[in-house]
Structure 1
Amino acid sequence: MTAFSLEPAQLAWCAELRALAAERLHPLADKSEPGHVNRALVAELGSLGLLGRLFTSGALDLCLMRESLAYACTEAETALALQGLGAHPVHAYGTEAQRARWLPRVTAGTAIAAFALSEPGAGSDAAALELRAEADASRGGRSSDPSQSGRFADTPSLTVAPDGPARWRLTGEKCWISNAPEADFYTVFARTAPDAGARGVTAFLVPADRPGLTGRGLDMLSPHPIGALDFDAVPVTAGDVLGEVDRGFRVAMGTLNLFRPSVGAFAVGMAQAALDATLAHTAGRDAFGGKLRDLQAVSHQVAEMALRTEAARLMVHAAASAYDADAPDVPRRSAMAKLLATETAQYVVDTAVQLHGARALQRGHLLEHLYREVRAPRIYEGASEVQRGIIAKELYARQEAR
């Protein structure tokens, strides 16, 4: 199989996923409360076996899942993706104990995962993280700061994490974290070595019930659960580390390199849904003595929408196939795929709204929904400008290596 065609079995699977999303997942999504985790929807994703495929399939399969679900139910797509993003570091870098404790529940849809990287002052610049993981001087559980008041200073039992004596205490804030503050555990990236840039970041698996961890929801344009987390000397142990101490940047980038092409797949699914809606509308809408599609200005716009959508899809498939083949240029390909697909989806959805007119702006219309959904992917998991920086860096590095 090449990156530029899909096997009949893959095409059939995509069609099956679209049908499942429309018939079984969309009704559950309609019952969700905006800004909150839809646990019934996540549980259904688990019962359908889709969450389990997050850890047994390759990058291309992940892209096919995300595009197919996004076409019919963006909420289901996002719920699946967030489970994968939050739990992939546990799957790829966690210990046997960590995997045994959390992955079966994630797969079943009974535990909600979250990826906690962004901060108020460090969104796309992951090397600028300020959440501190400070050594616990006592190693027996008391705060290393004698002036610390409250439960940590006065209650030794609360300063010991469930997996053993606290080795570090997390202090600071995370912001714009999907599934926060309702997740059951977080993959948290914190600074263990001051002034070390990307080399001094460690990834931790932090259960939501750790003392000192609190959060609040944020009211965002899209209806997804997104929040901020506050860490007040939250105890973490050596058993909570994902990967190696001071090597958490590798965990973050390894996860993002996998998921960036699939963000592009999410965008392609939305673009295809907008394109198909536009084809139906322009073919049936009477205007100026004929149908909208008879106007060259309209038909050329539709052709451009289709052209860009297909180009984005091919680049997403190529990037995912490169990841599955362990190619050396995965960071560049992943960045290109996410950049092109998310920018394309923005264009396609916006053009679809323009061709539909005012009806597309009415609450409840498919395009009104997509218009709100399509904006965020150009920012999260690395904004478009960050992707351009990655692409240029990789190109110059390859030139210098010749």
Structure 2
Amino acid sequence: MSSGDYSFRSLKEQLGTLRRDPETTAEWVKNAATNEEVLDEILIKEQLDVKHESTRQLGEVRRAVLGNLEIPDRYKQLVTDRQELAKIRVPDRVERNARAALEMGKPLVLYGPTGTGKTYFARQLADDLYDWDEVHTATPSWTPSDIIGGIQPAEEENGFAYRKQPGIVSKAVIDAREFGIEWGLILDEITRADISQVFGPLYTAIENSEQTIYQDDKHNVQLDSNVHIICTMNMSDRTVNELDDAITRRFAMVGLDEYDRAARDDLFSEWVDEHVPAIVPYDHETLVSLFHADYDGLNEGTTIDDDEPISRFGPMHYKDIAEFLGSACGSGGQYEDEELMDEAVGQAFATYTLPRLLNTATLPQMRQLETHYEVLSNDEEFIRFDLTPAIELVKREITAEGRQMNRTVFE
């Protein structure tokens, strides 16, 4: 290609290189900003921004699109709409309260037990309301520098060097300003980090919009109204009353743990009808009833002799079970043989539901789980579903936990 030749003809000759190299693709986007034939080929036909940057990563190609004033708005909109989200339905009250908080500019925390759809709903909100959104999942190693910025290691040709770099929030502000867009910033599972320590500088900035949260040679960053913070928080082992008062005073707190029977029935029926093939030799209504019975027993204890709840457990886990059954029992699936299909139900529970429950279960809760699934397996309505894999998994964990306790006693 001759120097400065960014014609459509030259593009066709260079496509092989562009498909391999995001830097070259970004160069073409910058230099052919007014050539819609070239942009159509790169972004619509070839979708090279997706190839190089998956669905929501903001890499070199998309930065070249969003940061160039000469590129028509339709291409900017195209790259911000790449992500296809599976929409979930949450209670109307939850939807209204979350949107109202964000509309008034309030940072938002979505909280609830595992499986209530917090992360899906956060992404759904951000995708609906803002031009761009990104998710960052908290870790125990997070520090204030991860949030607002500070001295951090940076990779260089000769190894690592330490330099001042923006954190997650300050970087979102910088990018939102650079591209002139509304930015949805999702901080997922923040209870994994030390919230009081990590969010301390952010609390001050929330109360004072003129507070500088990050500064370097190029940037002086304050919280920006174009950056909208949505956090998710797993509350399986805690209550709102146990949280640091600092976060409950500065964030809108919206719970996702109230799915009534009708709402759950809509979800369960939709997932079973969508994913489980009609050829499976048990009717969909019975499978939906099994989901309800399992949910009720875990959350309310309705199938347990002492009527005690076992764990706070959201309804979203049953979508995984429906998808497993659809894949495993469908044409070419591992349980396609009709003789194996009943076992697939127990295997689905053992693969998805039980590991999540056992992850935090105490020994008494494990024994409750064993009783719960034995009761379900003996119920005449569900007798054809082979829940043995789930029961055996619980028994193995009870045995392992008992051995661990004995070792602890005698050490």
User: By the TM > 0.5 criterion, same fold?
Assistant: no
Question: Rg larger in 1 or in 2?
Answer: 2
Larger RCO of the pair (alpha carbons < 8 Å, separation 6+): 1
User: Structure 2 length as normaliser, TM-score?
Assistant: 0.31
Q: TM-score, normalised by structure 1?
A: 0.31
